[in-house]
Structure 1
Amino acid sequence: MATSRSGPRTPGGGLAGRALACLESRKNLAGCTGGLAGLALTFTGLAGAYWPVVVAGLYAAGALIASPERLPAPEFPDASSRLDAVREDFGTLREYLDAVELPPAASGRLTELLELLDGLLAPGWMSRALAADPGGVHLLSRAVHQDVPEAVDTFVRTRWWTRIAPGAEPPERQLEQQLALLHREAAALAAGLRETEARRQRSHTRHLEDRGRNG
């Protein structure tokens, strides 16, 4: 027997929730303040026979001048927290790679790449520099989550087919080329971070020089 997917209505949801939100809105509160001012004029006799119009008009005026409700902006993980997640996944990737047998040349290139990635992901000033570079965090995330595991897994599957149907290009050549390209990409990221720190150092030197001349 089919059951309804909708659960029981909570007191804060549905029509009751929307009505409560409307009553608590800034516009309604400001309108009520204007309406109370209209009632005060009525009790003092200043509104006369048109007091309903005065009260309604002051309520509408208060509601119109009230600032609109502002929805809170969504919060997303910052680059530092994303880097922590990539660092944890990098450990998982290394466990997988340790169990894969690769030819010596490809294994050497992979070791060089992993050492570079490990240095970039190591906690410390490098992580702080990367946190200010969302593009760099994205590059490392893509390398750990997609590029490296796909390159190795594709090699393993292609090597199996090559063994039962020899004659094609050795798959390790493609793997070596892929690992070399990934290493070049990571090295460029490291060089960019190093240059950023060098510029910061030069800027601090100029600041000290200017302070000494002006002091």
Structure 2
Amino acid sequence: MATSNGVLRFLESRKNLTGSALGLIGLGLTFAGAAGAYWPVVVAGLYGAGALIAPPERPPAPDFPAPAEQLGELRGDFATLRGYLAEVELPPAASGRLTELDGLLTALLEPGWVADALATDPEAVHALSRAIRQDIPESVDTYNRTRWWTRLTPGTEPPERHLERQLTVLHDEAAGIAAALQDAEARRQRTHTHYLEERRRGEG
């Protein structure tokens, strides 16, 4: 089966098709009497030349989801994460920080012009995806597991401190994404102002 597939791929390849086309030209020259007694060499040579000049086969590039499509999937994962977090008991300080982070992520992922702007930045989409699918659940789950051990060994560093620090870092990262999007819109506004002023000068 693999051999037959390989033969079929070769028959359909650019090299074979181009070589065959030039080989047919060689046969045409033979029938016209231009190739003489060396017609097999002429046909084989033209076929070989066609196979050499044909562009190499190029496998199709993988069709990964575009950032806009990734945002749609990310919204679903964010809803799943929020359901998980609603069932988790967190200390007040960490809970407050998580609420701030939740509000920021909700605003960034809300369908509309903000999400459209976000979709133009694949690195920002990746950062949010990592936070939602990995960092936040890992931080909360690690806190819960460490808290259980802390009850057995009192006197160790409170795990909620690490959770607060982790959520603070994640909040700052999300805030940085929002600030970058805001800066991009501000640059766009300034560019449009400059364009209008230059156009007025040119018409004046």
Same-fold call, TM > 0.5?
yes
Going from structure 1 to structure 2, the CA distance change for 1:142 and 1:18 (only over 3 Å counts) comes to: same
Residue 177 in structure 1 maps to residue 177 in structure 2: no
- 2:25 aligns with 37
CA deviation after TM superposition for structure 1 residue 202, in Å: 0.8
Q: Describe the SS at the equivalent of 1:81.
A: helix
Q: Which amino acid aligns with 2:120?
A: A
For residues 32-52 of structure 1, give each alpha carbon's deviation from its aligned partner in whole angstroms, at most 9, with x where no partner exists: 232222222322333222222
- 1:94 aligns with 82
The 1-side partners of 2:52 and 2:145 are apart by: 68
- 2:62 aligns with 74
CA root-mean-square deviation: 1.8
State the TM-score, normalized to the length of structure 1.
Answer: 0.86
CA deviation after TM superposition for structure 1 residue 177, in Å: 2.0
Q: Which blocks of at least 5 consecutive residues in structure 2 are unaligned?
A: none
CA deviation after TM superposition for structure 1 residue 100, in Å: 0.8
The 1-side partners of 2:100 and 2:155 are apart by: 30
**Which of 128, 141, 154 is the matching residue for 2:129?**
141
Going from structure 1 to structure 2, the CA distance change for 1:40 and 1:199 (only over 3 Å counts) comes to: same
- 1:6 aligns with none
Residue 48 in structure 1 maps to residue 36 in structure 2: yes
The 1-side partners of 2:172 and 2:45 are apart by: 71
Going from structure 1 to structure 2, the CA distance change for 1:38 and 1:183 (only over 3 Å counts) comes to: closer
Identity %: 64
For residues 169-204 of structure 1, give each alpha carbon's deviation from its aligned partner in whole angstroms, at most 9, with x where no partner exists: 222222222222221221111111101111011111
The 2-side partners of 1:44 and 1:178 are apart by: 82
Q: Which amino acid aligns with 2:40?
A: P
The 2-side partners of 1:108 and 1:126 are apart by: 24
Going from structure 1 to structure 2, the CA distance change for 1:174 and 1:70 (only over 3 Å counts) comes to: closer
The 1-side partners of 2:77 and 2:94 are apart by: 22
- 2:3 aligns with 15
Q: Which amino acid aligns with 1:157?
A: R
Q: Which amino acid aligns with 1:15?
A: T
Residue 208 in structure 1 maps to residue 196 in structure 2: yes
Q: Which amino acid aligns with 1:141?
A: S
**Which of 95, 98, 103 is the matching residue for 1:110?**
98
Give the structure with the larger helix fraction.
Answer: 2
Q: Describe the SS at the equivalent of 1:85.
A: helix
